[in-house]
Amino acid sequence: MYFDTTVGDSSTSNSSALVVFGCSTSQTGDLTKSERAVDGIFGLGQQGLSVVSQLFSQGVAPNAFSHCLNGDNGGGGILVLGQIVEPNIVYTPLVPSQPHYNINLQSISVNGQELSIDPSVFATSTNQGTIFDSGTTLAYLAEEAYDPFVTAIMQAVSPSVRPLLSKGNPCYLTTFSVSVAFPLVSLNFAGSASMTLKPEDYLLQQNFVFEALASKNSRFGRKTKLISA
């Protein structure tokens, strides 16, 4: 593998490393099981055979990565193996000894107001926890978090928004910009790290005026929170 290495002063140099990689055509089993956490759908898992782990074991790059996939128009985006050379980045620790990227979600806020959700709902154990997953399209919440989340959104939306139900899912009809009609949502993690979601981040648009919540009851276990990365 050949790549550019960026150091702290933003200077770059050419580097290379010997890595082993491949692809699969079929994979079975439940996403939350450890056997499905071998390397991840994009080869960025925590196990030793992932590209990130191989580069780290050779001392080529820190055991970290980040990516930002572009929006709907034209694809694109960026993938960084190693740490980002930017100030003021806030980190939240990974839960140790977990096959997936488990983190400690502590609370959810809507318009700056923390929702009344039992913190034990977010705690990591053998059958529950919060997982970041790059191969998941939607964000899935356990029922104990999903219900108060939806209620808070409905209470905070503009009076001009008309609530609907589509196949049992809460949806909204609006002719206004969603950034005006809907509130900000914050996912609050350990280490005072918060991820602020704009309405466009947690809503799915159908046609021009039909908006559906992108967070659904978890189908990966009763109390598994799955966050699309």
Q: What is the C-alpha radius of gyration for the chain, rounded to an integer number of angstroms?
A: 20
The verdict on pTM exceeding 0.85 is no
Q: Could you tell me which of 223, 209, 74 has the C-alpha nearest to residue 143?
A: 223
Residue range 87-145, pLDDT digits in tens? 788 888 888 888 788 899 999 999 999 999 998 998 888 778 888 877 777 788 888 89
Asked if 215 and 104 sit in the same domain, the reply is yes
78, 108: one domain: no
Q: Which of 87, 116, 137 is the last residue of a domain?
A: 87
Q: What is the end-to-end Cα distance of the chain in Å, rounded?
A: 25
| Count of structural domains, the chain | 2
User: Which structural domain range is residue 7 located in?
Assistant: 1-87
Domain finish residue from 55, 87, 119: 87
Answer with the one of 87, 122, 154 that is the final residue of a domain: 87
Residues 78 and 28 in one domain: yes
Q: Domain check: are 212 and 106 in the same one?
A: yes
The pLDDT score that the predictor gives to residue 125 is 83
| 81 and 105 assigned to the same domain | no
Residue 213 has what pLDDT? 65
- Torsional sign, CA 71, 194, 106, 113: negative
